[in-house]
Structure 1
Amino acid sequence: MRYIVGYTDTPAGRDALALGIRIARTTGARLDIVLVLANEERPTITPADPGYERFLRETADRWLAEALDAVPADITAKTHLVYDESFAEGLLEASRILEGGLIIIGAARGGLLGRFTLGSVANTLLHSAVVPVALAPVGSRDLLDAQPTGGTVSRITCAIGTRAGAHQLLDAAIVVAKNAVIPLRLVSLVALDQPEGAEHPEATARAESHAAEVLAYATEHLPKDIDVTTEIASGTRIEDAVSHLEWKPAEIVLVGSSRLATPKHLFLGSTAAKMLRELPVPMVVVPRDSVLTLGDPT
């Protein structure tokens, strides 16, 4: 398994690297740390200054060397300098060439500690990638600093609804939990999917029934030594429901793509986008109709 870390010498870049280290240690994957510079062959009115271009290359090489030095010795990692018209396109091309199974990026500046602000790179990837994309919230590097060895992912939480594609996402979560040998929590969003004005008792009953079904399915397909639990997220808004859940600092959340996504592609749906506003832990968005996730050995 190879995971692509979109790196820059910024807090967001270091957050992405910290999350990459944690996930790689959990799954046994190798990291490909990618830094993207503007295409050398881009159109320009005035000739590029060779001295400035050399300075950019030397600076990028230094940043990548420092990033590599920050990776613990027990994790295999390699750096790559890529030229492309945009950072997002460079990461997508690197993922294709290197056969990366996951792209990891940090949140844009401006978010509260432990929260997300999506920049242009994240928005592009979350609406076009063909592999899962992991988003590291602001401050992820602080968790790495608190545990010099990097730690591991402590739990997988999977947000399961009843819409098309939910079963594939559940299968993906089972694959991750099984291969990483970590607990799985299934959060039922059925209550949040109800039409406006639906009776609360009816919505709760449906959520409880759905939670029981997914729990039975996951338990059947996971070894007995892996703990599986369910919770029902409820609230007047999705953001409220997310804020009422208890979150472990080292866990990650799996969500599926919108039904608007083309097959095997990502498209961030409205529910996931609303979850991001309150989510204090990393989110991994899985492409539609795909069970290829960070825990898949293939």
Structure 2
Amino acid sequence: MRYIVGYTDTPSGEDALNLAVRLARSMDRGLDIVIVLRSAARAALVPVDVGYEKFLHRAAEDWLHHALAFVPRDMDVRGHIVYADSFAQGLLDASRDLEARMIVVGAARGGLLGRFTVGSVANALLHSAVVPVALAPEGSVSEIGLDGITRVTCAVGTRTGAKELLDAGILAARAAKVPLRLVSLVALDSDGVDTPPDVRARAEEHAAETVAYAAEHLPDDVDVTVLTASGNRIEDAVATLDWDPGEVVFVGSSRLGRPKQLFLGTTAAKMLRELPVPMIVVPRDSVLTVED
């Protein structure tokens, strides 16, 4: 299985490449670095400047060589230059053609304290991709070099897609041989400011069932813990959690999304604004299972 990273010769592109290397190394996956150029097909009224097209392609080749040189030599990595009407469409086409299991991109720059600001590319992917999309917040990975991930946190609830999300988190922790932390969002599924006692009890029962399922599918040397996030707002609950600089967070796609496609829901979108670490959004009805 392979991952692809949408690379640009920008700080955001460097963040994405750094995260992609960490994920691929940790989970023993091949990596495809993809640079997307605007399609050469243009309206008939717009003349094609052959010289400019050649210059742009040569520049892209230089960027690709730079990116490939960044990747450790022991990794299985390939480079691609593709043409598409948009950067997001090029990545979606590449993920299909290369049979990728994950797309990695950088978030938009300018988020407060390294937090996320979803740009147009990430937003398009989060509404269209059929495979998980990993988002690298500004500067969150460049400071810790090329080390692998240190922990997987999986934000699980009870809504549609929760099973697929949990399986994805288990697979990642199992492949990377790192601890799995399960954060129960059941108490936050309610729109009420205060968590009613019955909701809290349901959250604790769900947490116990979830950790038992995860432990059954993890090797003995991989730890699994669970906690219930609480707070008057989702952002407050996320802010109370501790975060390893090297961890990643798995969240689920909205139930409003079409089957096997992403659609960033309200809970994940609110988490996204507070998280200081990379987020991986998993489509509901994902084809990955813990038996893979």
Do the aligned partners of 2:229 and 2:238 also contact (CA within 8 Å) in 1?
yes
TM-score when normalising by structure 2 = 0.95
Q: Distance in 2 between matches of 1:235 and 1:185?
A: 18
The superposition leaves residues 165-196 of structure 1 with CA deviations (integer Å, 9 ceiling, x where unpaired) of 21221122222222222110000011111232
Do the aligned partners of 1:101 and 1:292 also contact (CA within 8 Å) in 2?
no
1:80 is displaced (CA, Å) by 0.6
Other-structure match for 1:155: 151
Q: Distance in 2 between matches of 1:251 and 1:175?
A: 15
Q: Which moved more, 1:196-205 or 1:174-183?
A: 196-205
Other-structure match for 1:280: 276
Matched, 1:243 2:239: yes
Q: Distance in 2 between matches of 1:125 and 1:257?
A: 12
Do the aligned partners of 2:161 and 2:283 also contact (CA within 8 Å) in 1?
no
The superposition leaves residues 146-181 of structure 1 with CA deviations (integer Å, 9 ceiling, x where unpaired) of 43xx11111110000111221221122222222222
Determine helix, strand or coil for the equivalent of 2:104: strand
TM-score when normalising by structure 1 = 0.93
* Distance change in 2, residues 1:158/1:53 (3 Å): same
* Distance change in 2, residues 1:141/1:180 (3 Å): closer
Other-structure match for 2:60: 60
Other-structure match for 2:89: 89
Q: Distance in 2 between matches of 1:11 and 1:113?
A: 15
The one-letter amino acid paired with 1:106 is G
4+ runs deviating over 4 angstroms: 197-200
Matched, 1:101 2:97: no
Other-structure match for 1:188: 184
One of 198, 210, 214 as aligned partner of 1:218: 214
1:285 is displaced (CA, Å) by 0.7
Q: Distance in 1 between matches of 2:64 and 2:103?
A: 17
The one-letter amino acid paired with 2:158 is T
The superposition leaves residues 42-70 of structure 1 with CA deviations (integer Å, 9 ceiling, x where unpaired) of 22533122221111111111111101111
Do the aligned partners of 1:218 and 1:228 also contact (CA within 8 Å) in 2?
yes
The one-letter amino acid paired with 1:57 is H
Q: Distance in 2 between matches of 1:238 and 1:141?
A: 24
Matched, 1:74 2:74: yes
The one-letter amino acid paired with 2:52 is Y
The one-letter amino acid paired with 2:176 is A
Other-structure match for 1:229: 225
Q: Distance in 2 between matches of 1:37 and 1:99?
A: 20
Report % sequence identity: 63
* Distance change in 2, residues 1:216/1:154 (3 Å): same
Q: Which runs of 5+ in 1 are unaligned?
A: none
1:205 is displaced (CA, Å) by 2.6
Aligned residues: 292
1:197 is displaced (CA, Å) by 5.0
Determine helix, strand or coil for the equivalent of 1:167: helix
* Distance change in 2, residues 1:244/1:67 (3 Å): same
Q: Distance in 2 between matches of 1:170 and 1:204?
A: 20
Other-structure match for 1:5: 5
Q: Distance in 2 between matches of 1:238 and 1:283?
A: 15
Determine helix, strand or coil for the equivalent of 1:212: helix
Do the aligned partners of 1:6 and 1:104 also contact (CA within 8 Å) in 2?
yes
The superposition leaves residues 250-290 of structure 1 with CA deviations (integer Å, 9 ceiling, x where unpaired) of 11111111111111111111110110000011111111111
- Pairing of 1:252-263 with structure 2 (within 5 A): 252-263=248-259
The one-letter amino acid paired with 1:158 is C
1:224 is displaced (CA, Å) by 1.6
Determine helix, strand or coil for the equivalent of 2:78: strand
The one-letter amino acid paired with 1:184 is L
Determine helix, strand or coil for the equivalent of 1:4: strand
Q: Distance in 2 between matches of 1:243 and 1:117?
A: 17
Do the aligned partners of 2:137 and 2:276 also contact (CA within 8 Å) in 1?
yes
Q: Distance in 2 between matches of 1:199 and 1:185?
A: 22
Q: Distance in 1 between matches of 2:44 and 2:226?
A: 56
Q: Distance in 1 between matches of 2:291 and 2:74?
A: 19
CA RMSD of aligned residues (A): 1.7
Determine helix, strand or coil for the equivalent of 2:114: coil
